[in-house]
Structure 1
């Protein structure tokens, strides 16, 4: 799973938080579009596709919903608190809609697909509900609402990848960008709604991915993140009646194709699945300096019985084998993870195995959650959510403490080292400092000078660290 409740800033920044408001420069007197995205990086990338489609139909984006003609929330169904936050936000938009009856309010994404007509009929919060495979239909759906009707399209597709649409890069820094390489998910993890809300897995034409990455680099971008619910299962095959007949491309080969664009274009990816990540992918990462030594490898639980209940299709031993391979092939690779506390029937001994797994791996970062039953999932249908909330909270707190310890230890190993940093911009805490990330995705803060510009690569000597940040100074 990819999760980023935008601003859930993924494993690049954080995973569940407030919404990301998508904004872009104004160009004239066109109709105004306002989008907020919650959930995963894929939702953020989808919002850029929506902005592109509607940009071709006369809409500009705005950062103020009060001046918008069209308001969208791009939603996430991964956890219950995300859904409640969306409902609260829709209520706020409802106040503006009473002031401006012509305002169109719509729900996009996973929550739209899962709840469908509930928003339109029962709660009467929105005018339009659009699933993640129906964004090309937006102009027609908007016209339908303008004619006085409610509009809905949540049909899932086995073919849609939006490969031919050039996303509008919104609210970005002009340095880093997302590229969707596939859509949907075939992994039926028992706790997850994604296969039901995003449909079956399908991979994008690799040439369109390379072309998008090349275009970004030509426009000054220095880093791209290749996105998929499970990037390691990326597999494209040329159609039998095409010039590419017989050609097949897997994820390792795609990584190499993008890396060869330029050594100055950094490549990241998200998310890997422990059952699918191969040594071929690891050797490809090791081969190219511009493929970042950072892998997000969700474990979810350190116990094999719980993993089987989760339908993760790997064991504790398999996961440890993959970690051993990473450490052997890419010795300085950073590893982050997702962990669920208090899954159905989890015992104290099984919880302790999760803690021991954290010690074994020494995660650079962990995104941790207590189990939240999602309607429609296999776990909701077949398993009993029998762990008391106070036990879930206590186990989650213990996991958090362990995560902070391992994260701090990993950061401390960088003190005294000189790291190559891609400057992203001014530090959030100080306008006199710049910030950027190293190859392992650690945030580095250092004093700004007039000569430094975002998008530059710099060498920074790390002098100290906090629990989440490296601090240093520029060196030659």
Structure 2
């Protein structure tokens, strides 16, 4: 599996597997060590878990050896992620020999998929908890403490954790993620998410507004609305999206779609920057784009996964759009939002991919001129429709070569796009210290580009500033402070 250096813009590589910490709650005596892998949804779920366990006596710790409870929030999207988590479980069990009272649990997508293996066959964990069962953690821990293995991986039609105020883990105090949907209905043949996270359901918009108000009161300046597919957000009083047609006439007439929610958030919090991901091409409503045009605090950035530039591959993937429809959507975006950055997800070497289909991907990338991307070679996942329907027949060396061609093209385009900023002055939000130097700030502009510049007086994280761009790499803009932005 390979990826470009720009992947951290959505999946922060520095947070993968790092223990998560939060403020300590007075009176809590037990220690929770929690690691997260995979997408930002997993990171956000860990914040929910920390909040629930905080109410039952747990504070987070960065010291594995002192933990009473070790939880790993898992990802099943690619084979390498599962291999990494298995190695971590071996590490945890080695520590249990030193601290025999320590309990080990698996959360998230691997929990649902491998529950029997973890508990019964391999006996490497004490509890297994799926993405919709985090409220049951106190009960499951009682089971474990009484000497029984505990498991709850039941998928819910209703659970959105709308009333759980997430404990912000490893937060920079500036940017926060707010989950608005859970689950997915798309049934792409390569993906396990509908089977591990369940079907789509949306969160009450008022609970979303309340969470953002709390974040604003705590000094946060930017929020990202989060979901497997934010464009299909649909609140009609609760329940699965697929059951919308069964709702009452008044529930349907007063339903809130994503464009409505986006307008509500942007207008209620005009001083905050608003981002959202992930989008799905077939569900992107023109009204969302018009809302972005209307509200300047909605950032000019769209993550728009395509997965392949070939219509025939898209058909095998069960993607609900064609190459031509995707290109039409890109044309519309560039007409309405010419300053909008666009990023992609791309799977290389999917089942049966021919050289011509691969060339279609390269030509689509050139047509769109993506700012950055997330590029992986295909790895077959157990339980997916692709595993059942199609042989994984593209040779490994061919996948590797094609992936490198895609990465090389993306780096070329990324560098040209960053070079276009040279000499320009942009508004950016300071997030914190640069990763490489505490003498420099790292900020991010509306288009989601990281900007590094030397620190000066009277600057702090959370400030909106104007930066003149003087240099760049393919992933980062370098500049100098001009003035505070109003």
Q: TM-score, normalised by structure 2?
A: 0.94
1:400 alignment partner, one of 404, 407, 412 = 407
CA positional deviation for 1:274: 0.5
Equivalent position of 2:107 in the other structure: 108
Equivalent position of 1:323 in the other structure: 330
Label 1:448 to 1:181 Cα distance change in 2 as closer, same or farther (>3 A): same
CA positional deviation for 1:14: 4.5
| Between 244-253 and 406-415, the greater mean CA deviation after superposition | 244-253
Equivalent position of 2:241 in the other structure: none
Label 1:323 to 1:20 Cα distance change in 2 as closer, same or farther (>3 A): farther
Label 1:15 to 1:299 Cα distance change in 2 as closer, same or farther (>3 A): farther
1:366 alignment partner, one of 354, 370, 373 = 373
Equivalent position of 1:23 in the other structure: 21
1:380-403 C-alpha deviation (Å, 9 max, x unpaired): 001010000000000001000011
1:264-286 C-alpha deviation (Å, 9 max, x unpaired): 21111010001010111011011
Q: How many angstroms apart in 2 are the aligned matches of 1:454 and 1:15?
A: 21
1:203-249 C-alpha deviation (Å, 9 max, x unpaired): 000111111111101110001110111100001113789x9885211
For residue 19 of structure 2, give the secondary structure of its aligned residue in structure 1.
strand
Q: How many angstroms apart in 2 are the aligned matches of 1:277 and 1:353?
A: 23
CA positional deviation for 1:65: 1.5
Equivalent position of 2:472 in the other structure: 465
CA positional deviation for 1:125: 1.1
Label 1:8 to 1:212 Cα distance change in 2 as closer, same or farther (>3 A): farther
User: Contact 2:7/2:374 (CA < 8 Å) preserved in 1?
Assistant: no
- For CA contacts below 8 A with separation 6 or more, give which structure has more relative contact order: 2
Equivalent position of 1:47 in the other structure: 46
User: Contact 2:33/2:63 (CA < 8 Å) preserved in 1?
Assistant: yes
Equivalent position of 2:154 in the other structure: 155
1:281 to 2:288 alignment = yes
User: Contact 1:11/1:336 (CA < 8 Å) preserved in 2?
Assistant: no
Q: How many angstroms apart in 2 are the aligned matches of 1:177 and 1:195?
A: 25
1:198 to 2:205 alignment = no
1:453 to 2:466 alignment = no
CA positional deviation for 1:372: 0.4
Label 1:245 to 1:357 Cα distance change in 2 as closer, same or farther (>3 A): closer
- Structure 1: unaligned runs, 5 residues or longer: none
1:46-85 counterparts in 2 under 5 A? 46-85=45-84
How many matched pairs?
471
For residue 292 of structure 1, give the secondary structure of its aligned residue in structure 2.
coil
User: Contact 2:16/2:38 (CA < 8 Å) preserved in 1?
Assistant: no
User: Contact 1:8/1:17 (CA < 8 Å) preserved in 2?
Assistant: no
- Structure 2: unaligned runs, 5 residues or longer: 239-246
CA positional deviation for 1:13: 5.3
For residue 343 of structure 2, give the secondary structure of its aligned residue in structure 1.
strand
1:426-441 counterparts in 2 under 5 A? 426-441=433-448
Equivalent position of 1:120 in the other structure: 119
For residue 105 of structure 1, give the secondary structure of its aligned residue in structure 2.
strand
User: Contact 2:31/2:66 (CA < 8 Å) preserved in 1?
Assistant: yes
1:358-397 C-alpha deviation (Å, 9 max, x unpaired): 1000111110000000011110001010000000000001
Equivalent position of 2:255 in the other structure: 248
CA positional deviation for 1:426: 0.8
CA positional deviation for 1:430: 1.1
For residue 99 of structure 1, give the secondary structure of its aligned residue in structure 2.
coil
Q: TM-score, normalised by structure 1?
A: 0.96
User: Contact 2:11/2:38 (CA < 8 Å) preserved in 1?
Assistant: no
1:388-443 C-alpha deviation (Å, 9 max, x unpaired): 00000000010000110111111111111111010001101111110110000000
Label 1:394 to 1:465 Cα distance change in 2 as closer, same or farther (>3 A): same
CA positional deviation for 1:288: 0.6
